[in-house]
Amino acid sequence: MATMKHGTVIPTRELASVNGPPVTIPDPQRLTHLQFRRFAGCPLCNLHLRAVIRRHAEIEAAGIREVVVFHSPAAELAEHAGHLPFPLIADPGKRLYVEFAVESKVRSLLDPRVWGTIARAATLSTWRILRRRERPPAARPHGGRFGLPADFLIGQDGTVLSVKYGEHAYDQWSVDELLALASSVPTGANDSR
């Protein structure tokens, strides 16, 4: 599978969102942060997305639209994350994962760099499940447990401005990294600023 590179131009497409109207990628008005996560209810994904939610207004103010893809069926994704303030895309057939060369590898959970975060995410998730603030993930998640995250910053014209393929299950851009990348985009590439 060939990875997506800086400068690649992706074709315009409309994606069905499980928690709102369809989403056009690229967004003609602002940058798009297209992030690929694992499965609905994934404790590591939830930990990361809580940070994105806390700073969502800041992300929007920087001219960025968040769009998050999961390899779970739409109904399952809506049960776990339908309340999130940005579009969620269900891709149970992994069509977008293949197109963007987002992989699944056993190393996603076996890399020692992720072990501490797994423990923290599992503890937080268990606490939230016991308090009925979160639903437990499926025992056998659709698409498996070994997905690697990936981040794409896409310009209004569909040009991939920056890419990060995760080396383990919690290797993605932080909000600070995303904002720094967006601020380095030339003004003409993002007319909304």
CB-CB neighbours of 60 under 10 Å: 14
Measured in whole angstroms, how far is the alpha carbon of residue 109 from the centre of its chain?
A: 17
Instruction: Report the CATH superfamily, name and number, of domain 13-184.
Output: Glutaredoxin (3.40.30.10)
Read off the DSSP letter of residue 56.
H
What length is written for the chain?
193
pTM: 0.85
16-52 pLDDT, tens digit each: 999 999 999 999 999 999 999 988 888 888 889 989 9
More confident residue, 64 or 123: 64
Residues pairing with 34 in the sheet: 67, 152
User: Which are the contacts of 97, defined by CB distance < 8 A and separation ≥ 6?
Assistant: 36, 69, 71, 91, 103, 147
Query: At 157, is the secondary structure helix, strand, or coil?
Result: coil
What are the backbone dihedrals phi and psi of residue 69, each rounded to the nearest 5 degrees, phi first? -110, 135
**What pLDDT score does 143 carry?**
65
Q: How many C-beta atoms surround the C-beta of residue 6 within 10 A?
A: 11
In this model, does residue 104 exceed pLDDT 70?
A: yes
Omega of the bond leading into 26 within 30 degrees of 0 (cis): yes
Domain ranges of the chain: 13-184
Q: Which of the given ranges, 72-81, 150-159, 179-188, has the highest pLDDT on average? A: 150-159
What is the SS3 assignment for 125? Answer: helix
pLDDT tens for 61-93 read 999 999 999 999 999 888 877 688 999 999 999
Q: Over range 93-114, report the average pLDDT.
A: 85
